[in-house]
Amino acid sequence: MRHHAPFPVLAGGTRHAEGESVSFLLARRADLHHQSTQPMPRTKNPPPDPEVPPSLARAAGTVPSTRSVDARSLLLVEADVDNRESIAEALQSEAFRVHPLATAAEALKVLDGPRCPSLILLDLSTPGLGGRELLAAVALRPDRDRFRIILMSAAPEAEALATRPCVVEVLHKPFALEKLLAAVRRHA
């Protein structure tokens, strides 16, 4: 009596399921490769935001396709050096990788990098390109759904920004570090 292996062995030791020919397997492999090399369709960008300079809006629409989001990585955009250092230290003690930055312009460069943080802690009063402009630039990005933003501000109008795309929470300054850590745990 002859014993048959459950999967026939091809030249070179490759096994395939019973009934699938070598030409079928090669055609399926070529089709999968073709699908993986096709560009993803671009979604239509939302209408321009008047708070975003045109050059920034153009830059926000160009996102490399090889990027990945790092769930334990945070982008901390805080203008005050002492606040930035104490918040970064507290987050690092919770095993988060923190990218502490002073300006929103620096944040945009990180967001366009190969490994971008999933959560952004944003001080609205950053100098130069401000927090509002960064919010608007993130809202214009085709990959905006990848980001969650926690706003940090002493300004009373910050609550009105809670409905902006990507904003998941607003923390009013001054706040206890434990309150910030709880918010980060909820949204990271």
Question: Are the C-beta atoms of residues 149 and 120 closer than 8 Å to each other?
Answer: yes
Residue range 136-154: mean pLDDT, rounded = 93
> Using one digit for the tens of pLDDT, what is the confidence trace for 15-53?
444 444 444 434 444 444 444 444 444 444 455 555 555
Architecture of domain 69-187: 3-Layer(aba) Sandwich (3.40)
Instruction: Tell me the whole-structure pTM to 2 decimals.
Output: 0.64
Distance CA 17, CA 8 (A): 7
Phi, psi dihedral angles at 52 (to 5 degrees) = -100, 125
Spatial separation of the C-alpha atoms in residues 98 and 117, rounded to whole Å: 9
116 vs 10, which has greater pLDDT? Answer: 116
What is the per-residue pLDDT for 137?
Answer: 93
Nearest to 177 by CA among 101, 80, 86: 86
Q: How many CB atoms lie within 10 A of CB 148?
A: 18
Where exactly are the structural domains of the chain? Answer: 69-187
